[in-house]
Structures are given as structure tokens and as C-alpha cells.
């Protein structure tokens, strides 16, 4: 039995390798003993696992996967809940072993069986949790399904979706109050205070209008034009912006995730249960 366990398990099961080994033995015995019945039995034992292998590669069951993150965009150090809904869309039946592939920094990937015990309407629902310590975008998935033939001789594993992107944003940190001078609008524009006695180079003139104060009359321009002219002082604006940069090298590290929970494989992994992201600092 220990010898069989050394053979690749992603092609044949222990039963399949056993039939192949037995077929080889009977084929050798038929050659030595000259028995036609042993030859027939050997051919049957050799062909049956090969037919099972071809069947699992050609007749692959089809699934549809829906993945939801809650919240859709998670902050660092916060827990994100991943909800999976898997449904079979093609012909076929039986059980399949599924695994949600995660980046290596997540640790052990959650493993679950399809269909789930609480499956409703042909759809099985699963849930597990992730927690990020670094910001960035991470591909969660795909889900891989491992299924076998009806005789349990061959195994085949393939991805049944493309995965989804989990966005981890920096956690919001309240910045200390700063003494920024001047009144600034929502667009970052600060209006310069109009000077009471501007020079001739700083003003424009226009015709006198009813209601204009007499102190704004520009007498030099009035003499030139032969009619009352008043100062039209131009309001000067100075657009400003405050840029806040996070200059810490560790804050730009990508791909660092920490996920919690337990797995079906053991207590050190992550939970997959059936059920019906960095700090900002100011730098200027």
C-alpha cells in the first residue's frame, strides 16, 4: 500500500493504480503460461483505468461560481468575508472536492466538498474570512474542482472560474489639525484680499454706473475719456493644494495578507463553512 501511495495521485486513484498493476501481472502471467483467459483479464484490467482517465478529461462537469466580498473594498487590518455560491450547470452528478486558491501569503487554501449538506436548489454556499495587513489588489481564486469517474479509478482537477480581485485600501487615520492660513474654497483657490489703494498698474477702469461710490472714481481716466470712470479692481486668485504622501517603504509592500480561521484539513488553516486595506502620514 505504501508503494501505491508513491504514484501520482492526480492521474489515478489508489484503486486505479492497483488495477493497472494487477493487469500488468496478469499480462505477464498470460505470456508465461500461455493462457488466453488470463490475457483477456489483463486487457480488461489495463483498459478500464485508461477509459476512466479519458472520460474524466473529456466529460468534465460544468460549474458556475459567484463570489462576493463583504465589504467590497476592505481596509487594512479589517476582516473581509468571502461568500461563494457554486452550482452545477451541465450534466453529471456525484461529489467533487473543491479548493479556493489563494496567494501563498494567505496560508492554506480553504477546501470544501460539493454539494454542501445545506445545498438549496442545486446551489451550494460557502463562507470564509480574510484579513489584510497591507494594501493592494489581490486575486482571490480560482476555485478548482477535483472529481472522479463513477468507478473511482481516475482523478481530474481543473479551474471552474477565473477568480476575482479583492481591493485593500489604507485605513483612514484622522490627521492632526494644521494651521493653514487663508480662506480656501472647495477647489483649493484662495482669493487675495483687494487692496484699498491700488496703483494704476493694478486696476482697470470702466464707465461710471449708478450706485458706484465716488471714492472709486479714477480722475485721471475721467480726464482722458471726458466721462466719469471708476476703478474696477481685478480679483487675484492663487490656487493652492496640499499633498499628503505616505513615505514609508513598508506601506508599499504588495501581496502581504494574513487570513484567519480554520480549514477542513486541520486547525491551523482557514474555515470554509457551508451556509444557506495602510496608515496615512502627512508629508509636505
What's the pTM value of the predicted model, to 2 decimals?
Answer: 0.55
Q: What is the predicted pLDDT for the residue at 89?
A: 85
pLDDT digits (tens, 9 = 90+) for 84-142: 999 988 766 668 889 999 987 777 899 999 989 888 888 999 999 998 888 888 999 99
- Which residue matches cell numbers 462576493? 68
Q: Which segments of the chain have a pLDDT < 50?
A: 1, 4, 192-196, 201, 255-284
What is the reported pLDDT for 264? 39
Give me the pLDDT at residue 126, please. 95
Query: Can you tell me whether residue 32 is helix, strand or coil?
Result: helix
Q: According to the 3-state scheme, what is the secondary structure of 126-162?
A: EEEEEEECCCEEEEECCEEEEEECCCCCEEEEEECCC
Q: Which CATH number fits domain 63-173+250-274: 3.40.50.450, 3.30.360.10, 3.40.630.180, 2.60.40.10?
A: 2.60.40.10
Domain boundaries along the sequence of the chain: 4-58, 63-173+250-274, 189-238
Q: Please give the Cα distance from 126 to 16 (Å, whole number).
A: 31
| Mean pLDDT rounded to a whole number for the chain | 77
Amino acid at each position: 500500500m505504501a508503494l501505491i501511495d508513491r504514484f501520482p495521485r492526480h492521474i489515478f486513484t489508489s484503486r486505479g493504480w492497483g488495477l493497472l498493476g494487477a493487469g500488468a501481472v496478469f499480462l505477464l502471467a498470460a505470456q508465461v503460461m500461455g493462457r488466453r483467459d488470463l490475457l483477456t483479464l489483463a486487457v480488461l484490467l489495463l483498459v478500464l483505468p485508461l477509459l476512466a482517465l479519458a472520460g474524466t478529461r473529456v466529460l468534465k462537469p460544468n460549474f458556475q461560481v459567484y463570489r462576493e466580498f463583504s465589504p467590497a473594498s476592505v481596509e487594512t487590518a479589517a476582516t473581509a468575508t468571502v461568500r461563494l455560491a457554486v452550482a452545477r450547470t451541465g450534466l453529471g452528478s456525484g461529489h467533487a472536492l473543491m479548493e479556493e486558491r489563494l496567494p501563498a501569503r494567505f496560508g492554506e487554501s480553504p477546501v470544501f466538498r460539493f454539494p454542501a449538506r445545506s445545498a438549496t436548489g442545486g446551489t451550494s454556499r460557502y463562507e470564509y474570512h480574510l484579513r489584510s495587513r497591507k494594501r493592494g489588489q489581490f486575486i482571490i481564486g480560482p476555485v478548482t474542482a477535483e472529481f472522479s469517474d463513477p468507478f473511482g479509478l481516475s482523478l481530474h482537477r481543473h479551474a471552474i472560474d477565473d477568480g476575482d480581485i479583492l481591493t485593500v485600501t489604507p485605513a483612514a487615520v484622522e490627521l492632526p489639525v494644521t494651521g493653514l492660513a487663508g480662506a480656501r474654497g472647495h477647489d483649493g483657490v484662495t482669493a487675495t484680499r483687494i487692496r484699498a489703494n491700488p496703483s494704476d498698474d493694478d486696476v482697470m477702469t470702466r464707465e461710471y454706473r449708478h450706485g458706484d461710490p465716488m471714492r472709486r472714481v479714477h480722475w485721471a481716466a475721467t480726464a482722458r475719456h471726458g466721462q466719469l470712470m471708476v476703478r474696477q479692481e481685478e480679483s487675484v486668485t492663487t490656487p493652492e493644494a496640499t499633498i499628503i504622501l505616505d513615505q514609508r517603504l513598508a506601506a508599499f509592500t504588495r501581496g502581504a495578507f494574513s487570513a484567519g480561521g480554520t480549514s477542513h484539513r486541520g486547525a491551523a488553516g482557514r474555515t470554509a463553512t457551508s451556509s444557506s486595506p495602510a496608515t496615512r502620514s502627512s508629508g509636505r
